[in-house]
Chains A and B, each alone.
Chain A
Amino acid sequence: MNVWIIVAADPAVHGLADAGRSIASASGGEVVAAVAGPRGVAEQVARCGVDRVLWFGEPGESPVEAYAPVVAAQVTRIGAALVLAAGRSGDRVLLAAVAAALGCPVLTGVNAVRAGNGAGPVVERSVYGGIAEQTERLTGPVALVMAGGGLGRGESAPVEEVAVEAGQLGGLTVTRTTGRDAASVDLTAAPRVLAIGRGVRRREDLPMIEALAAAARAGVGCSRPLAEGLGWYPRDRYIGVSGQKVAPQLYLAVGISGEVQHMSGCRGARVLVAVNKDPNALIFAEADYGIVGDLYDVVPALTAALEQGSAA
């Protein structure tokens, strides 16, 4: 049973390789990574614990998405029982192209996949924004989107370059790239996360929030509208069903109502605290501790209480 890992430029796929290995070794298959992106990405993926890497050459002016047809052709040629990719946008595009070529289903919200007892791999996933969870058995080829995991640091598997002609890349050319480099924060690694939602009314209020984050030594995340639309934070700060999933020691949710799509990104927290002026806000049902009050009073009070405590 061959397991494929599809990578579009981000090599943090150690989690996928681990999952793939447990499935492949149960059935005598191999774990192959198909990588579109610079050679350095292929080399990092090679250290994730895969059996081999197929690399499609330096992209030059082509976006990784242009490689969808050639990646799909390789996977269908060699054969796949299971195809995995992380949830980043380039990975999704390549994965879906592979699934379309195989004519197979593609599933998202996957929390875990395991070998199962002889009748096919078993998948655990969240569905419909996180309102339900399902256990499913895979009885045919399937593509799965799941958390990539981190970088690999093991022995390097062989990297084979697959020759690609320009004509195979579908007429897409990058003409300009701007503003790529901004320090991104890995909220999944933060032991404490302060998340804000629409209860925070104005961008000018963010320094008050940042002061609390500093006092709590917490990373700052947000609900979806604050990262998209309002654009107060970059997209990698959005916590929710189609954003970051975090499980910190402490999750402090300020001005967040607790809708299911947000909660599926944070309910793994060890201790969850909610501050909201609505006593009926859904989030209190999933909170260990809460303060019902105006965040414009509570946030400065929390900052003061935290600063007092550390000075003592």
Chain B
Amino acid sequence: MRIVVAYKWAPNPQDATVGRDGRVDWSRTRATVSDYDAVAAELARRVVDAGGGEVVGVCVGPAAAGSGAARKAALPKGYDRAVIVADDRLDHLDTATTAAYLAALVRRIGEVGAVLCGDGSTDVGAKLVPAYLAGLLGWPCLMEVTALSGAPGEWVVERAYGAGTQQLRATAPLVLGVATDAAVPRAAGMKDILAASKKPVETLTADDLAEVGGVVGLRAGGVELIEARPPVLRPRRHQIFDGEPAAAARDLVAALRTEGVL
């Protein structure tokens, strides 16, 4: 069987700065493979270890996604090989275009039994790429997946459902959004990292997937930026209560009663 796992090479917005004009400065951030993508890779690895086949990692991102550092971070997560579209024209892509490139990769790889994705990316966290990708492929999509077993054509999927869980059977290839706590990703040891460095990696540019613009029929544009800004923050008092916990607590409670919020 062949399972494709999508991962993203992206920075944490917590480390970025925003100018007065709302422009985000990523220059001091460092990209990583998202923690949640590693969970998806772990789930795929376990299924393929049980039933045979291969796990193929795929990534769409800026040129840095194809760098040695990015490959070294990604491959030990459990992929047998990877296909990376690394192109600075694909930096900070929107959901629809990301999904379109992933769909092109899935078709190019061929005979894929399932695509697994992390819960949401580190930088955007939209939680929409899996379902959009599924729509483009014409496959079903399930999110919050906590377990996967079986094989293509006879998948058994478990997912979080309200406060409980649901088990489903799927007779066709699927796209799955994996819950953040579905599995604890393996910690890669020296041996894994060395083995990973020998795994085949195919690196492509956007031109190699030029069909994305045409075949998928994506409408260009549709969203025009008018204005951007840092979040509008309410003015806050910034009053700190000092002293022993008991005294500070009493002072705080008194202040809150005066505010009328208690």
Residues of A within 8 A of B (CB): 63, 65-66, 68-69, 72, 89, 92-109, 122-123, 126-142, 145, 170-182, 184, 191-192, 216, 228-229, 231, 234-236, 241-242, 249-250, 259-261, 264, 267-268, 270-273, 284-294, 297-298, 301-302, 304-306, 308-309
Contact = CB atoms under 8 A, between A and B. Distances in A.
What are the nearest 6 A-B pairs in CB distance? A100-B135, A179-B164, A140-B222, A96-B131, A182-B163, A301-B249
Contacts of A271: 256, 259, 261
Interface of B: 12-14, 16, 18, 22-24, 94-96, 99, 120, 123-128, 130-136, 138-144, 156, 160-172, 174, 177, 179-181, 216-219, 221-234, 236-242, 245-246, 248-250, 252-253, 255-257, 259, 261-262
A234 B163 contact: yes
A260 B128 contact: no
B141 A235 contact: no
A128 B124 contact: yes
Contacts of B250: 301, 305, 308
A242 B234 CA distance: 21
Contacts of B222: 104-105, 138-142
A139 B223 contact: yes
Contacts of A270: 261
Given A103-B219, A132-B231, A134-B227, A177 B141 contact: no
A42 to B, nearest CB: 19
A133 B128 contact: no
12 contacts: A96-B132, A107-B223, A109-B126, A145-B128, A171-B140, A228-B181, A287-B238, A290-B239, A292-B240, A305-B249, A305-B253, A309-B262
Contact of B135 (A66, A97, A304): A97
A179 B165 CA distance: 7
B169 A175 contact: yes
Contacts of A242: 120, 125, 127
Given A103-B216, A182-B162, A65 B140 contact: yes
Nearest to A129: B13
Contacts of A99: 96, 132, 135
Contact of B170 (A131, A172, A301): A172
Given A139-B223, A297-B245, A298-B249, A286 B233 contact: yes
